[in-house]
Every structure is written in C-alpha cells, then in structure tokens.
C-alpha cells in the first residue's frame, strides 16, 4: 500500500465520532506533561537542514545559549533545525530540551537530544502545545510546515490569543523577501497594519534574541506584579526564571 492510501485510510479512521478521544488524549497528555514548565522558548525550522548547514550550527548555538540562561527549549522534536536547537539545550543541562513530535504515515523519528519527548496524533493539537507554554517564538529557515507555524503564531499574537515576548525570524537572507512582501503588499492592500508587521523581528544576532527575551521576561514580571496578576499560572512560571537568576543563574 502506498503512502497516499495509508494517509487516506488514517483520515477515515480518525473521522469517526470516537476519534474525539484521540484528540482529548493529545491535549490531556500535552497539558499534563508541560504544565509545570518554567519559562520556555519554541524554535521552529526545517527538518531537512543538514548538520553541516550554518543554520543548523546557529540553531544549536542558540539552543545552548537559551538553556544557559535558564530557558527551556521546545521544538517539533525531529531532525534538522529542531534537532540542532534541542542538541544545544541538551548539552547545557540548565534548561530542559523538549520535543513535541507527530505521528505520520512515514515514521518521523524523535531526535536523541531530548529530556522530554511527546508524540501527537493531530497537527492542530501539537501546534497548540508548541505555542502555549512559550514566551518567544523563534523561526529558522523552513518549508511549508515552518511557514504554517510562523503564520499561526503571528495570527495568535495579532488577535491577542497569545502574548509572547517576541516573534523572531532568524535568517536575514532567507526571510528578507518574505518580510518585504509582508511590509509592502500586505500593508498596502490593507490586509494587515504596520503594527502587525512590527510583531516580527528579523535578525541573525543570536545575542539579541537571548537578551531581548530575558529582559522582556523580567519586564513582564514587574508588569504583572503592578497589575496585581500574581495569582496567574504564567506569573508563577515567570517567577521560576527570576528565582533561578537570583540563585546564581545568568
């Protein structure tokens, strides 16, 4: 049986009313496994990027830098950019390296650099988990899946369904044509506003990504304290980061 027939068969199986329990299982497993995480950052990017690619090396370095600064690193758990970011975080040992993989007709193996590995039946459930516990979204070069995740994240921020510290595009040469399109065609047609476009930060400076995220996490803590929001779950997670810094973290 070829892959297209396997995929169609899977869709038919999952379309039955009982499939709601598979959906519930995805969410219950995700919420239960990730609920106690401290501040985390999600790194997106292609599974096809090879280990000798400069973007792989940059993602690995960034994963290490984030973990060294007390931040957990979440990825889709597979190869390429995802493996690189997990590998960097895993080698640090300060922050957790987390992979949220997906069950596919052709097995998508998890990379070996994970402190926690989860698998999901549904892309939409997995995408919720990839963004729910993160305070920054970092998007390295990638294909259709990465573009889907990028614009999903931007839509959540634009509509105020998510409140991350920042949305970073790492890879100026790769993403500049896309950002030019967003800043010209989309704005000129009234499809988005200038403020919407300004949600995106394009950079190759990894230090900028880390320092911006750290500074704004601390600013968010102060903001929540001033607003009397100290009983929120997000506040408790942010305080873990601050306490780690006060106890000798960077």
37-76 residue pLDDT tens: 888 999 999 999 999 999 999 999 999 999 999 899 999 9
Helix (H) or strand (E) holding 83: helix 81-92
151 three-state secondary structure: helix
Pairing of strands 72-75, 116-120: unpaired
For residue 185, the 8-state DSSP code is I
Give domain status of residue 84, yes or no. yes
87, part of any domain: yes
pLDDT at 13: 54
Q: What percent of the chain has pLDDT over 70?
A: 89
Query: Is 226 inside a domain boundary?
Result: no
Closest CA to 113 of 154, 179, 56: 56
How many domains does one find in the chain? 1
Let me know if residue 243 belongs to a domain. no
Structure tokens at 72: 């957990």
Tell me whether strands 166-170 and 72-75 are parallel, antiparallel or unpaired.
unpaired
User: What is the spatial distance between Cα 22 and Cα 45, in angstroms, rounded to a whole number?
Assistant: 27
DSSP state of 133: T
pLDDT at 3: 45
Range of the domain at 120: 20-207
Structure confidence at residue 6 (pLDDT):
40
Backbone angle region of 222, left / alpha / beta, with phi > 0 → left and psi within -120 to 50 → alpha: alpha
Does residue 166 sit within a domain? Answer: yes
Inter-residue long-range contacts of 176-180, CB under 8 Å, 24+ positions, other chains counted: 176/202
Say how far apart CA 247 and CA 235 lie, in whole Å.
18
Are 73 and 66 in contact, with CB atoms under 8 Å apart?
yes
In a domain, 238, yes or no: no
Q: Is residue 99 one of the residues assigned to a domain? A: yes
Torsion of CA 70, 71, 77, 80, to 10 degrees: -90
- The residues pairing with 101 across neighbouring beta strands, listed in sequence order, are 119
Residue whose C-alpha is closest to residue 137's, from 224, 219, 206, 75: 75
Q: Is-above-0.85 flag for pTM?
A: yes
Residue 7 lies in a domain: no
CATH assignment at residue 138: 3.40.50.450
C-alpha distances (whole Å) from 184 to each of 4, 105, 143, 180, 193 are 38, 39, 22, 6, 10
The whole-angstrom separation of Cα 213 and Cα 215 is 6
Condensed to tens digits (0 to 9), the pLDDT of residues 4-27 reads 444 444 444 555 676 788 888 888
């Amino acid at each position: 049986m070829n892959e297209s027939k396997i995929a169609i068969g899977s869709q038919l199986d999952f379309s039955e009313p009982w499939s709601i329990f598979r959906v519930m299982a995805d969410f219950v497993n995700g919420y239960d496994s990730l609920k106690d995480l401290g501040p985390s950052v999600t790194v997106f990017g292609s599974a096809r990027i090879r280990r000798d690619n400069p973007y792989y090396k940059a993602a690995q370095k960034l994963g290490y830098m984030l973990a060294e600064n007390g931040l957990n690193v979440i990825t889709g758990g597979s190869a390429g950019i995802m493996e690189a970011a997990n590998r960097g975080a895993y080698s640090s040992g300060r922050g957790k390296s987390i992979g949220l993989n997906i069950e596919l007709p052709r097995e998508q193996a998890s990379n070996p650099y994970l402190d926690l590995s989860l698998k999901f039946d549904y892309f939409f459930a997995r995408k919720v988990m990839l963004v729910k516990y993160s305070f920054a979204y970092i998007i390295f070069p990638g294909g259709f899946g990465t573009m889907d995740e990028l614009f999903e994240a931007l839509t959540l921020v634009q509509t105020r369904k998510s409140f991350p510290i920042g949305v970073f595009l790492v890879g100026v040469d790769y993403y500049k044509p896309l950002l030019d399109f967003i800043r010209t065609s989309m704005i000129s047609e009234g499809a988005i506003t200038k403020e919407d476009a300004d949600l995106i930060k394009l950079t190759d400076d990894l230090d900028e990504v880390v320092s911006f995220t750290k500074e704004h996490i601390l600013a968010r803590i102060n903001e929540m304290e001033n607003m009397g929001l100290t009983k929120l779950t997000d506040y408790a997670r942010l305080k873990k980061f601050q306490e780690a810094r006060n106890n000798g973290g960077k």
